[in-house]
Amino acid sequence: MGMQMRKLINIDDLSVIYDELHRCGVLEEYQTAEFHKQAKDYVKQAKKIVEGDYQIEKDEEGYYETEISCVRKVAQKQFRCYGIKGHIADPPDGENAKSDWLFYRIDQFPPLEAGDRVRFKTSKSKINAFPDLGRARNIYPDDLMKPD
């Protein structure tokens, strides 16, 4: 028996899976209209997650947890700058930004790489406008670590 892979952020692929589940008897009821309504909302949210456009909530200890999406070279060699996936909920600056970035002195926390998971707390952030990024939020971490 062959194996097929489907993208779960594509409504056509989700529809094929839905039909296959019905044919195999996994789905007893078949409500195509309701499925398409739900699938449309799911695809919209899934694409935001894949693109890193979602909100990151604080945990019970006040930490945000996310993934580093990229490393940004900065002119001031004494600083590190990292793009993160998502946007922090309730940022200290209280404004909307196109992207969120961790920004700190090189001697403050360890270096990071794209793909690293991080946990951080912050009490300070600032919106800046950059020609290549637009409105970007610098997040100045009070604490930062890689989770175990």
CATH 3.20.20.70 fits 55-145, yes or no: no
Amino acid code (one letter) for 128: N
**Mean pLDDT on 65-89:** 94
pLDDT at 47: 65
Q: What is the pLDDT of residues 2-45, one digit of tens each?
A: 666 676 777 787 788 888 888 887 887 878 888 878 877 777 76
pLDDT digits (tens, 9 = 90+) for 105-131: 999 999 999 999 999 999 999 999 999
Domain spans of the chain? 11-51, 55-145
For the entire predicted model, the pTM comes to 0.70
How many residues are there in the chain?
148
Query: CB-based contacts of 144: which residues, under 8 Å, 6+ apart?
Result: 102, 104, 109, 118, 119, 120, 121
Contact (Cβ atoms closer than 8 angstroms) between residue 144 and residue 122: no
- Alpha carbon 99 to its chain's center: 10
Cβ atoms within 10 A of the Cβ of 135, count?
13
